[in-house]
Amino acid sequence: MSTQIQSTMIKVNDRAKERIMSLLSEEGKAKDSFVRVGVQGGGCSGLMYNLDFDSELKEEDKVIEDNDIKIVVDKKSVLYLVGTELDFTGGLNGKGFSFNNPNASRTCGCGESFSI
């Protein structure tokens, strides 16, 4: 069964919230959909972020809510993400969603991978 944990684990800023709500609407996702965030091995710094929509909770999932956004994190990714802020940057030079992770000791130039 999923576990509810403190909302301070991942913060969702207002720009990210607006974009998530817009994407949920555009893609016709149901109200029970949530954002799934995870970390996996890969990328030029060793670890990469995963960000997707989902509607099925798994037994080991941790559930977080911040800024009216429901986020689900798998058990293995929790320690890598404590204190992280989810941001969104748009515009001509924008890069989309980004993770401001205080646990990352090194990030790659594109910001898509990190190491601890």
DSSP 20-40: HHHHHHHTT--TT-EEEEEEE
What is the CATH topology of the domain spanning 3-115?
A: Hypothetical Protein Aq_1857; Chain: A; (2.60.300)
Q: Which residues pair with 27 in a beta bridge?
A: none
Average pLDDT, whole number, for the chain?
82
pTM listed for this prediction: 0.79
Percent of the chain topping pLDDT 70: 78
Burial of 71 (0-12, 13-18, 19+ CB in 10 A): buried
Average pLDDT over residues 29-54: 84
Torsion of the alpha carbons at 64, 83, 81 and 34, rounded to the nearest 10: 30
- Of the CA atoms within 13 Å of residue 7, those in its CB half-sphere come to 9
**Stated length of the chain:** 116
